[in-house]
Amino acid sequence: MELLDLSRFCMRLGDSCLIMAHRQSEMCSKGPFLEEDIAQTNLGLDLLGQAEALLIYAAELEGKGRTADDLVYKRPERGFYNFMLAEQPNTDFAFAVVRQYIMTLYLSRVYETLAKVDDETLSGIAAKAVKEIAYHQRHLGMWIKRLGEGTEESHERIQTAINELWMFVGELYEEDELDLKMQEAGYAISGEAMKAYLMANISSHLTEVTLSVPKSVYMTTGSKKGIHTEYLGYILAEMQYLQRAYPDAKW
Amino acid sequence: MSQAQEKELICQYLSEISDPEIPVINIVEMGMVRGVLFRESKLEILLSPTYSGCPAMDMIDHLVKEKLQSKGYDSVEITLVYKPAWTTDWMSDETKEKLRAYGIAPPVGKATSKKGLLNEDPVFCPQCGSKNTEIESMFGSTACKALYLCKDCLEPFDYFKCI
Ligand SMILES: [Zn+2]
């Protein structure tokens, strides 16, 4: 395994966790009720911790003298490799729930695989994260059910969120050269296996709670090359503001 | 003083540092101190974060350095170790009892079992001991705790989840 490949792999995963953590932090004070407000921001906190550990490791493996903070605050939009799904905004509470629910299914599978690799750091990070994600999965699954089987309005709003976010799911099982290398080394499952796992879980869960899986076949692509939807730029503008206004400012 | 004795002394100093979020438990009892290593001119302390996003980690890092510097160790380095991943399974019964007395229901069961992880076993109220309790939210005052309500004494309380 080339260190640089492993670094890029950790960066992709770390970026998705980081951007989701930022989106979840935006939920602070916007939850539908106090307990849920706390829960939503705690989901973000777990993801931020995972992002930190992954990006510290990515920076170390890269060996260019960059720190995790450099990666977070000094890369431009095209230098981020998070999935487009991760950056989608909290248009409605249902959007936040659907985004996190799908990403959580994905992460649980990714971490399960990584927990078994022959790499002390990465398998340690994954073994811890897999347990945290199990709680996310349960919590978000509860919301899918609650909104799906709730009122006519909650049903309609969550179905809208599923329909609108659906085109970003394809990236989760898309493969490029790096993915194939990681699969060969046992660090990732095949795109086909990931697709089958996601589709089986999502469709059985959605139909169980009266929701439906969209039929649309168009799926976006590009985040593995640093191509994003318009939303990432706005996230970075806010997230990187301080470091750009006051370079290398320390607390 | 032999190195083993010195190590023991250092652990004793570290046990004077309480977890910033749970003041009745110290970081040694918490199982966060994974090693004390003597490196040429410096002292290296291995710490295991309790959960990935624990906001108390920076604070703990700072407290450990401050404590050891006050004992004459000028050069202290802290290394975070992720493997084996910290788990609530490492808490002793004595530590769990301290949590309960403080008002936090200790983890029930083992994190290694799916049942324990998703807390399907009854959680006892730390105030009145009743098992007639109900989960209010999977995430409480911190990500590692869930919020429960006792249906007998009506007190809400934190439950330290198995992790
Ligand atoms: Zn009670």
Return the pLDDT at B123: 93
- For helices A93-114 and A191-208, the axis angle rounded to 10 degrees is 140
Count of positions (residues) in chain B:
163
CA of B113 to the centre of ligand 1 (A): 26
Q: How confident is the model at residue B61 (pLDDT cuts 50, 70, 90)?
A: very high
- How far is Cα B35 from Cα B68, in angstroms, rounded to an integer? 14
| A17 closest CA partner among B85, B53, B117 | B53
Q: Is the pLDDT of residue B117 over 70?
A: no
pLDDT digits (tens, 9 = 90+) for A71-108: 999 999 999 999 999 999 999 999 999 999 999 999 99
Return the pLDDT at B20: 86
- Determine if the peptide bond prior to B23 is cis (ω within 30°): no
CA A26 to chain centre: 15
- How far is Cα A91 from Cα A165, in angstroms, rounded to an integer? 11
Q: How confident is the model at residue B1 (pLDDT cuts 50, 70, 90)?
A: confident
Residue ranges of domains in chain B, CATH in brackets: 3-80 (3.30.300.130), 91-160 (no CATH)
Q: Closest partner residue to B138 among A39, A123, A127, by Cβ?
A: A39
Q: Closest partner residue to B118 among A52, A132, A138, by Cβ?
A: A138
Q: Is the pLDDT of residue B90 over 80?
A: yes
Secondary element (H or E) of residue B134: strand B133-137
Q: How confident is the model at residue A218 (pLDDT cuts 50, 70, 90)?
A: very high
One of 1.20.1260.10, 1.10.150.120, 3.40.50.970, 3.40.50.450 is the CATH number of A3-245, namely 1.20.1260.10
Contact status, residue B49 vs residue B40, Cβ threshold 8 Å? no
Return the pLDDT at B114: 61
Q: Is the pLDDT of residue B84 over 90?
A: no
Return the pLDDT at A189: 98
Count of positions (residues) in chain A:
251
Contact status, residue B109 vs residue B116, Cβ threshold 8 Å? yes
Inter-chain Cβ pairs, chain A and chain B, closer than 8 A: 84
Mean pLDDT is lowest, of A33-47, A98-112, B44-58, B89-103, for B44-58
- B52 contacts on A by Cβ (under 8 Å): 46, 48-50, 52-53, 125, 128-129, 132
- How far is Cα B96 from Cα B25, in angstroms, rounded to an integer? 9
- For residue A127, count CB atoms less than 10 angstroms from its CB and return exposed for 0-12, middle for 13-18, buried for 19 or more: buried
In the numeric block, the tokens 């959680």 are attached to B123
Q: Is the pLDDT of residue A37 over 80?
A: yes
Model pTM score: 0.90
Contact status, residue A61 vs residue A68, Cβ threshold 8 Å? no
Return the pLDDT at B119: 59
- How far is Cα A9 from Cα A70, in angstroms, rounded to an integer? 17
Average pLDDT, chain A: 96
Selected residue of B21, B34, B112, B139 to mutate for chain A interface (largest A Cβ count, 10 A): B139
Secondary element (H or E) of residue B76: strand B76-80
Contacts of A212 (CB under 8 A, 6+ apart): A159, A162, A206
- How far is Cα A145 from Cα B50, in angstroms, rounded to an integer? 31
Q: Is the pLDDT of residue A51 over 80?
A: yes
Secondary element (H or E) of residue B10: helix B3-14
Closest chain A residue to B148, measured at CA: A35
Contact status, residue A85 vs residue A165, Cβ threshold 8 Å? yes
DSSP A118: S
- Judged by CB atoms closer than 8 Å, whether chains meet at A47 and B139 is answered as no
- Reported ipTM: 0.80
Max CA separation in chain A (angstroms): 54
Mean pLDDT of A142-167: 97
Angstroms from B8 CA to nearest CA on chain A: 27
- A48 contacts on B by Cβ (under 8 Å): 52-53
Q: In what order do the strands lie in the sheet with B76-80?
A: B33-39, B42-47, B76-80
Return the pLDDT at B116: 57
Q: Is the pLDDT of residue B118 over 60?
A: yes
Mean pLDDT of B121-142: 91
Average pLDDT, chain B: 89
Return the pLDDT at B55: 78
